[in-house]
Amino acid sequence: MLLDPTFLAIQALNALQLGSLLFLLSVGLSVVFGLMNFINLAHGTFYMVGAYLGLVAVRETGSFWLALALAPLGVALVGAALHVVLLRYMQRASPMRQVLVTFGLIYVGLDLVRMLWGNYSHGIEPPVAFAGSVRILGETYPAYRLLVIGIGVIVLVALALVLERTRLGAVVRAGVDDRETASAIGLNIDLAFFGVFCLGCALAGLAGVVAAPVLSIHPGMDMSILVLTLIVVVVGGPGSLRGAVLGSLLVGFVETFGQVLAPAYASMLLYALMALVLILRPGGLVPVRRVVRA
Choose among 107, 108, 124, 115: nearest CA to 60. Answer: 124
3-state secondary structure of 215: coil
Q: Hey, where are the domains in the chain?
A: 5-219
260 three-state secondary structure: helix
CB-based burial label for 107 (10 Å; 0-12, 13-18, 19+): exposed
Q: In the structure, what pLDDT confidence band is assigned to residue 75 with cuts at 50, 70 and 90? A: very high
Mean of pLDDT over the chain: 86
Helix (H, G, I), strand (E, B) or coil at 141: strand
**pLDDT one-digit tens code per residue, 194-247:** 888 899 899 999 999 999 999 889 998 988 788 889 899 989 888 788 889 999
Helix axes 95-117, 43-61, angle to 10 degrees: 20
> According to the model, what pLDDT value does residue 288 have?
67
- Cβ neighbours around 2 below 10 Å, total: 9
Under a CB-based contact definition with an 8 Å cutoff, are residues 240 and 284 in contact?
yes
Count CB atoms within 10 A of the CB of residue 103. 12
Q: Nearest 5°: phi and psi at 158?
A: -65, -45
Confidence of residue 149 (pLDDT cuts 50, 70, 90): very high
The pLDDT tens digits for 241-289 are: 888 999 999 999 999 998 888 888 888 888 898 999 989 888 888 876 5
How far apart, in whole angstroms, are the C-alpha atoms of residue 201 and residue 69? 13
- C-alpha distances (whole Å) from 198 to each of 31, 38, 78, 79, 81 are 11, 14, 9, 6, 10
pLDDT of residue 289: 53
Query: According to the model, what pLDDT value does residue 294 have?
Result: 35
Q: Which of 59-63, 71-75, 87-91, 121-125 has the lowest mean pLDDT?
A: 87-91
Q: What angle do CA 111, 210, 169 make, to 5 degrees?
A: 95
What pLDDT score was predicted for residue 91?
A: 75
Q: What is the pLDDT at residue 88?
A: 82
Judge contact between 48 and 113, C-beta under 8 A: yes
pLDDT band for 293, please (50, 70, 90 cuts).
very low
At residue 291, the pLDDT reads 40
Residue 34 has pLDDT above 90, yes or no: no
Alpha helices in 62-140 (DSSP H): 64-85, 95-117
Higher pLDDT: 182 or 70? It is 70
- pLDDT score of 57 more than 90: yes
What is the mean pLDDT of the segment spanning 142-168?
89
Q: Tell me what pLDDT residue 158 has.
A: 92
Contacts 24+ apart (CB under 8 A), 112-115: 113/48, 113/49, 113/52, 113/219, 114/219
**Which residues in 111-134 are b (16+ Cβ under 10 Å) and which e?**
eebeeeeeeeeeebebbeebeeee
The whole model's pTM is what?
A: 0.89
187 vs 287: CA distance, rounded Å? 24
How does pLDDT run across 95-128, given as a tens digit for each residue? 888 888 988 999 999 999 999 998 889 989 999 9
Instruction: Tell me 126's DSSP state.
Output: P
On the question of pLDDT at 16 being above 90, the answer is: yes
Q: Per-residue pLDDT for 292 more than 70?
A: no
Nearest to 128 by CA among 39, 71, 63, 182: 63
The answer to whether 221 touches 203, Cβ cutoff 8 Å, is no
> pLDDT at position 201, please?
92
